[in-house]
């Protein structure tokens, strides 16, 4: 979403919205407080994600969603995201709102997240108060709740892109690294707090009795945290409108393609990037004024073409990332339901005042404690990764993350005990940290190796495949959505076939162990 170009040792900013209307601008150094304020969006987003992970499956089951359909809810959002992501990204790049390019989209998506939570956490209560007929009430409750889940997932998945673009637009290269560090830190904190609040038995506390049910309590906290965090985020760093920046740059003559530093970064979201220090020519081969250059945006066609033209080691890394996220999501999306039904032997389909349903709710609360352990351990493991990588390397970290997760989920599925399950939740944190760090470190290593080879060959022309680090990272990220599609489309069928949600945890274990073998044999590591 930006590029670092200019003379060696000088980090300059190039907008990804277009080839040149912004030219090269060096943003000022941002105070630590401003970067922390910017990171509050990740805190709020992850807090709400934690609430969804803990409660959405119990909510869907409590409104009477058929067992064969509840995983389909997870399928709708990633399909929409996979198809519409290029449209939203391009619209953000070219937005000419007076408030800036990114913040209008961030605000819109945050409101959509809030609306989605309101629907899936309060839909059943509202429908029950408005409709008396049981059959109509069931249909409307399921419809409203499913709509809320899809709306929230869609907005929460998309909002990460504009947030990162906002950071890259307004920060220098050094501040980008600091900002991303704070993003990761507050992501872990937000998830831990969300799971922690979900683990509290609100039904026996005064706030729970005042608001009605634990679902209303969690909506109260989620709405409060989300609103506060995004208000702070949107007021953190000023963002120049696109038209003002373009107006300032238009009178300047077109650059003469100066060579860039060898450590130039190719950021997420770009299609045509430089390889030997020069921008790729515009179609037709004519040199154009920066105001007339058009940035080629990522579309489904370009994404598929990039996948086909990828070197084998890139493709293997994408496959390993897909395997890892398929295993991780299979477990995480249904973990609290597993705790309530298998570990605690509750029944989400019983009457809400029955013993079986109350036992199920207790299992969901304890499952939230397990997810809180996962979030905290993920942050801790991320910190220790820096020390571990010098001993075991990226291959060891990658292998160990998949192996520990596969063994941990396997033991949970085979021996569903409360205390052992909570202890083994630490393996979820290892996997989470691994998926967020190691694959992108490998992408960076691959690109550094390619740059060194080009320097030794005295620099050839640009890569004819049109690939850059931005597209490679985007392709890697798309594996997460593809994993969501696989999980949403396959787990419902598996649960129906097996008649138990234990199959979800066992499947996650088997997929992770397969991925463990794959990362050891097929993924290439740079010495």
Q: What order do you get walking across the sheet with 12-15 strand by strand? A: 2-5, 12-15, 24-25
Phi, psi of 36 (to 5 degrees): -65, -40
Q: Name beta bridge partners: 3.
A: 14, 266
Q: Read off the pLDDT of each residue in 342-356 and give the average, rounded to a whole number.
A: 85
Instruction: Please check the confidence at residue 29 and state whether its pLDDT lies above 60.
Output: yes
Determine whether 468 is exposed, middle or buried from the number of CB atoms within 10 Å of its CB (0-12, 13-18, 19+). Answer: buried
Which residues fall within 8 angstroms of residue 435, CB to CB, at 6 or more apart? Answer: 321, 324, 325, 328, 401
Rounded to the nearest 10°, the torsion over CA 78, 322, 473, 47 is 60
Instruction: Please check the confidence at residue 196 and state whether its pLDDT lies above 50.
Output: yes
Which residues fall within 8 angstroms of residue 423, CB to CB, at 6 or more apart? Answer: none
Do the Cβ atoms of 245 and 27 come closer than 8 Å? no
Do the Cβ atoms of 321 and 310 come closer than 8 Å? no
Predicted local distance difference test score (pLDDT) of residue 519: 92
End-to-end alpha-carbon separation of the chain, Å?
29
How far apart are the C-alpha atoms of 451 and 511, rounded to whole Å? 34
Instruction: Please check the confidence at residue 107 and state whether its pLDDT lies above 80.
Output: yes
- Give the residue from 230, 246, 233 showing the smallest Cα distance to 93: 246
Predicted local distance difference test score (pLDDT) of residue 306: 58
Q: Read off the pLDDT of each residue in 373-387 and give the average, rounded to a whole number.
A: 80
- Give the residue from 294, 250, 291, 219 showing the smallest Cα distance to 56: 219
Q: State the chain's mean pLDDT as an integer.
A: 75
Q: Comparing 389 with 317, which gets the higher pLDDT?
A: 317
| Structure token digits, residue 41 | 């969006």
Phi, psi of 5 (to 5 degrees): -125, -165
Q: Read off the pLDDT of each residue in 510-526 and give the average, rounded to a whole number.
A: 91
Beta strands 24-25; 2-5: pairing state: unpaired
Beta strands 2-5; 12-15: pairing state: antiparallel
Predicted local distance difference test score (pLDDT) of residue 228: 95
How far apart are the C-alpha atoms of 363 and 348, rounded to whole Å? 11
Instruction: Please check the confidence at residue 396 and state whether its pLDDT lies above 80.
Output: yes
Residue whose structure tokens are 């409660």: 55
Predicted local distance difference test score (pLDDT) of residue 411: 94
Predicted local distance difference test score (pLDDT) of residue 230: 95
* Cα Rg, the chain, nearest whole Å: 24
Predicted local distance difference test score (pLDDT) of residue 303: 55
| Structure token digits, residue 445 | 């290593």
Predicted local distance difference test score (pLDDT) of residue 67: 65
Determine whether 180 is exposed, middle or buried from the number of CB atoms within 10 Å of its CB (0-12, 13-18, 19+). Answer: middle
Instruction: Please check the confidence at residue 250 and state whether its pLDDT lies above 80.
Output: no
| Structure token digits, residue 254 | 């077109």
Predicted local distance difference test score (pLDDT) of residue 405: 95
Do the Cβ atoms of 47 and 190 come closer than 8 Å? yes
Q: How many helices (H) and strands (E) does the chain have?
A: 16, 3
Instruction: Please check the confidence at residue 475 and state whether its pLDDT lies above 50.
Output: yes
Do the Cβ atoms of 246 and 291 come closer than 8 Å? yes
Q: Read off the pLDDT of each residue in 468-488 and give the average, rounded to a whole number.
A: 71
* Tally of CB atoms within 10 A around 386: 9
Q: Name beta bridge partners: 24.
A: 14
Predicted local distance difference test score (pLDDT) of residue 158: 77
Q: Read off the pLDDT of each residue in 447-465 and give the average, rounded to a whole number.
A: 62
What percent of the chain clears pLDDT 70, i.e. is strictly above it?
A: 73
Q: Give the H or E element holding residue 455.
A: helix 426-456
- Give the residue from 43, 30, 381 showing the smallest Cα distance to 177: 30
pTM of the model: 0.67
Determine whether 241 is exposed, middle or buried from the number of CB atoms within 10 Å of its CB (0-12, 13-18, 19+). Answer: middle
């Amino acid at each position: 979403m930006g590029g670092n170009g200019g003379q060696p040792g000088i980090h300059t900013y190039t907008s990804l919205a277009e080839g040149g209307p912004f030219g090269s601008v060096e943003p000022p150094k941002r105070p630590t407080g401003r970067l922390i304020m910017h990171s509050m969006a990740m805190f709020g987003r992850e807090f709400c994600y934690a609430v969804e992970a803990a409660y959405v499956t119990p909510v869907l089951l409590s409104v009477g969603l058929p067992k064969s359909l509840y995983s389909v809810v997870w399928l709708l959002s990633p399909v929409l995201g996979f198809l519409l992501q290029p449209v939203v990204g391009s619209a953000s790049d070219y937005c000419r709102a007076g408030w800036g390019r990114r913040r209008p989209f961030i605000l819109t998506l945050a409101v959509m997240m809030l609306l989605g939570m309101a629907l899936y956490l309060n839909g059943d209560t509202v429908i029950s108060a408005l409709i008396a007929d049981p059959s109509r009430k069931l249909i409307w409750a399921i419809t409203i709740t499913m709509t809320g889940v899809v709306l929230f997932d869609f907005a929460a998945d998309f909002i990460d892109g504009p947030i990162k673009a906002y950071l890259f637009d307004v920060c220098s290269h050094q501040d980008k690294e600091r900002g991303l560090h704070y993003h990761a830190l507050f992501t872990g904190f937000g998830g831990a707090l969300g799971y922690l609040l979900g683990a509290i038995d609100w039904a026996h506390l005064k706030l729970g009795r005042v608001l009605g049910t634990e679902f209303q309590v969690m909506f109260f906290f989620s709405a409060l945290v989300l609103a506060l965090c995004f208000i702070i985020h949107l007021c953190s760093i000023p963002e120049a409108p696109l038209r003002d920046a373009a107006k300032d740059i238009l009178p300047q003559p077109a650059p003469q393609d100066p060579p860039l530093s060898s450590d130039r970064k190719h950021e997420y979201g770009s299609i045509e990037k430089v390889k030997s220090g020069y921008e790729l020519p515009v179609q037709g081969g004519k040199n154009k004024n920066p105001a007339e250059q058009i940035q080629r945006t990522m579309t489904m066609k370009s994404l598929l073409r990039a996948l086909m033209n990828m070197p084998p080691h890139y493709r293997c890394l994408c496959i390993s990332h897909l395997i890892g996220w398929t295993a991780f999501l299979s477990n995480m999306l249904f973990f609290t339901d597993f705790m309530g039904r298998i570990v605690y032997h509750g029944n989400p389909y019983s009457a809400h005042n029955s013993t079986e349903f109350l036992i199920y709710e207790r299992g969901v609360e304890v499952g939230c404690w397990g997810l809180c352990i996962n979030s905290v351990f993920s942050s801790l493991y991320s910190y220790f990764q820096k020390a571990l990588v010098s001993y075991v390397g990226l291959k060891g970290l990658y292998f160990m993350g998949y192996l520990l997760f596969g063994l941990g989920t396997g033991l949970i599925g085979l021996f569903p005990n409360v205390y052992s399950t909570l202890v083994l939740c630490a393996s979820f944190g290892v996997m989470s940290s691994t998926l967020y760090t190691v694959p992108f470190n490998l992408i960076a290593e691959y690109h550094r190796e390619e740059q060194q080879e080009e320097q030794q060959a005295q620099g050839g022309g640009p890569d004819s495949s049109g690939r850059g680090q931005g597209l490679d990272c985007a392709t890697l990220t798309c594996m997460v959505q593809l994993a969501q599609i696989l999980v949403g489309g396959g787990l419902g069928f598996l649960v129906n076939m097996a008649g138990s949600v234990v199959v979800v945890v066992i499947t996650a274990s088997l997929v992770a162990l397969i991925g463990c073998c794959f990362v050891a044999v097929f993924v290439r590591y740079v010495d």
